[in-house]
């Protein structure tokens, strides 16, 4: 299974890694990106750094990687400003943007790289509430992409600029996150063409889980949900999960498998069926 849960460092995430990184100072995210990129260099991956900062400042921040100029000239490192790719303050098209990530990964393979490692300081993309829904769907689409193409991503969010509820939603749609107060104790992520739910879900995180399931759903397309890595769920979470699967019966369907003993016991006690 892919790396999932709480992590101390983005090093070692692998070719299918996707991490949400909450931070307070820009230097904290840069440090994490350097660890992430060091792995990417060892694996012959194309590195892409994306932030709101000017490229010259990005280049200076990444200087510890080595000869940054040679990397840029050789195509192994791309530096991009958010405003070059996005109309900041406006919602993205999740499917179109995920397709661009896929195309960039395909191009990297064609150029002799093993994949793409993208580190993006994404805070400026979600400061406006009208952007949240589309961005969360994009994160979910990108995560499904990471399971099969050689695309991996480290997504940074500056905590003091974003509300707690949004930070919780962001961690929920990544398989991994660093430890910070707003982070959820569960993760919903891509696995074998479907989804997996890991960690712990209780009454306080049930609404976040419901939203994460909605962000991951693609209308009219069937999916599967693996619960093998779910450590705990209370009756609030289970009832919401059952409601979700029933709601999808007429919209592609959602098959559930890998139920751990706690789910089976709760289903028996509450006379519910997934």
Q: What is the DSSP letter of 31?
A: H
Residue 149: pLDDT above 90?
A: no
List pLDDT tens digits, range 201-245. Answer: 999 999 999 999 999 988 888 889 999 999 999 999 999 999 999
Determine the topology of domain 184-274 in CATH.
Answer: Transcription Regulator spoIIAA (3.30.750)
Dist. CA 227–CA 193, nearest whole Å: 14
Tokens describing residue 122: 């994404």
Tokens 């892919």 correspond to what residue?
A: 2
Q: What is the pLDDT of residue 58?
A: 98
Mean predicted confidence (pLDDT) in 75-80: 98
- Percent of the chain, pLDDT > 90? 89
Domain with CATH 3.40.50.300 in the chain: 1-183
Mean per-residue pLDDT of the chain:
95
CATH match of 1-183 with 3.40.50.300: yes
For 7-16, write each residue's pLDDT tens digit. Answer: 999 999 999 9
Q: Kindly tell me the burial class for residue 221, based on how many C-beta atoms sit within 10 Å of its own C-beta (0-12, 13-18, 19 or more).
A: exposed
| Distance between CA atoms of residues 10 and 164, nearest Å | 22
Nearest by Cα to 100 from 119, 112, 86: 86
SS3 at position 54: coil
């Amino acid at each position: 299974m892919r790396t999932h849960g709480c992590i101390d460092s983005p090093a070692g995430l692998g070719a299918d890694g996707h991490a949400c990184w909450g931070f307070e100072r820009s230097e904290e995210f840069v440090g994490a990106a350097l660890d992430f990129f060091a792995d990417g260099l060892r694996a012959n991956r194309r590195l892409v750094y994306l932030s709101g900062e000017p490229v010259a400042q990005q280049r200076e921040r990444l200087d510890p990687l080595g000869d940054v100029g040679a990397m840029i000239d050789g195509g192994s490192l791309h530096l991009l400003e958010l405003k070059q790719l996005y109309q900041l303050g406006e919602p993205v098209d999740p499917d179109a943007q995920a397709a661009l990530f896929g195309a960039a990964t395909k191009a990297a393979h064609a150029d002799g790289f093993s994949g793409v490692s993208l580190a993006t300081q994404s805070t400026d993309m979600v400061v406006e509430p009208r952007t949240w829904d589309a961005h969360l769907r994009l994160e979910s689409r990108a995560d499904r992409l990471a399971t099969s193409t050689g695309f991996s991503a480290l997504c940074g969010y500056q905590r003091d600029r974003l509300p707690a509820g949004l930070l919780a939603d962001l961690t929920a749609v990544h398989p991994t996150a660093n430890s910070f107060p707003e982070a959820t104790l569960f993760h919903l992520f891509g696995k074998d063409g479907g989804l997996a739910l890991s960690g712990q879900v209780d009454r306080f995180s049930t609404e976040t889980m419901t939203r994460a399931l909605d962000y991951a759903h693609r209308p009219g397309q069937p999916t599967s949900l693996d619960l093998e890595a779910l450590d705990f769920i209370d009756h609030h979470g289970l009832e919401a999960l059952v409601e979700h699967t029933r709601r999808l019966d007429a919209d592609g369907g959602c098959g559930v498998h890998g139920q751990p003993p706690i789910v089976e016991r709760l289903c028996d006690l509450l006379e519910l069926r997934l």
